[in-house]
Structure 1
């Protein structure tokens, strides 16, 4: 698939024609292969220092052979790697052949060509720094290269982005979500949905070794990354850092209130923290007929419905319901000027019925009677409390 995974140093034939050029296949695989000198002599068992084949053998059907004459193997003379030293085989460092052996099945195509090109030049980057920290990738698995596109492992990126990775079986897609973005992608598909908007991309995500890789420019387009100057085959990226201690992630729903669809602005997309669903306080209360007022004396938000008064202090202390102190803990969480609160807390106290279906992404709220809406703007100080 024209995906460059890594470039390995090797040793080839002492003379140009010793290592046969052409298109061949891997036809045999051996662990600690035995070796007999080409000129004849006793068979040398595998796994001993005198055996020059090292720990693994990938036999090729080169020149009509059956995989026992030409092969890719390890060595007992590491100083020879990078030179013309063999009788026709391709030598590798032992740690490299161990990795290659596990990742190359029988039947794999192998092309041997003579070229003056430095194959390391095919790799666009050897190192990746994110927010000044060098990224450690799994052995020989990153960064990957396909043409001019560099692929990075989501396993490395998710903790930095503060993202939760979720497999959504209903759509056969991967959800990457943090407090500011919810991105949905499918392996091998060029359509990416970010915050409920679909985009067509030049390259699709890929799956390798049970790890999802995304094109590096996804970070810029969907997560606000800034690409810094590239030098010495080093890619440097600055990523927005998720606030420490904040485990909230966006989760888009199709919201209906009393069977009427309600469209929330993107800034009011509900948030999830473990099993707790936080909803935007003002638009939901307004849509269900509740009044919202700011009590400057008590430094609290007051939610009023017919016959009910809920007072929620912004300092996190216990809320009050009809002047009774509640033992159930809750607090208002404010992000980018939008106040969020637990749906479970609201529905119990305001007598809402709420049905949440995460698989179909639907949130249905029903209430009995709409009261007069009288919304007041909270003072500026309220917007800065508990903000991130």
Structure 2
């Protein structure tokens, strides 16, 4: 159902995002011809759910998208209905898709279970509330979602380029990544958290209950919520939608590293396939009446 969640970002601040138990590669395929949602893990079909899609074929977009935001008890802006209300047509869970920025098209619950299996929405994908609860808990941010009509030509998935090795240089230490798990839109690789933080002398721990990575060094701390992508440091709080869980480990884009390590200069050399971490040099300003190297001090009468 197409709906502009005008307060989506505000709602995000107040909604609890549940932890996910899915660390394997998840994929969702929604077939508008059958109104079925198929959930795959590691290319194996795990679950199939009935859904409702757009009242007309053009309302629910077709193509390849990703899950970019997850909300518990989303606020329904069009009707001014609070999250968690039994009258809320979004139900109790929202998985926002990249088409429309996460707040226009989504997979969500419903207050009208009789509509499931029919063409009833204004563009979104409706599910039974118990079904979307399961999907929410097993779908990390970044999960690919393909929407197709099996009676029409299948939307082709672009071929994945063969990953090339990457070297991470941290002072005198090198970490060789033979097969990166993914790339950012600019082509830079996603980098594994544990070996890099450990090479930088950070302690790294795991909270299984909240699926959060805790990283510490002295009075510095970095907390990474693996389901929501929410990152908390001493300096800032932000969401990293490109955070990826693969092979039992978390991987993050270079933009993540630049934000959590503000005192470190991080550069990506695409030609050399090399990421360098160097401590930033802080230039001290000269005291009044003194000069920096190569400068003259002018004394005025």
- Compute the TM-score of the two structures, normalised by the length of structure 2: 0.36
Q: Which structure's CA Rg is the greater one?
A: 1
Q: Which has the higher contact order (CA 8 A, sep 6+)?
A: 2
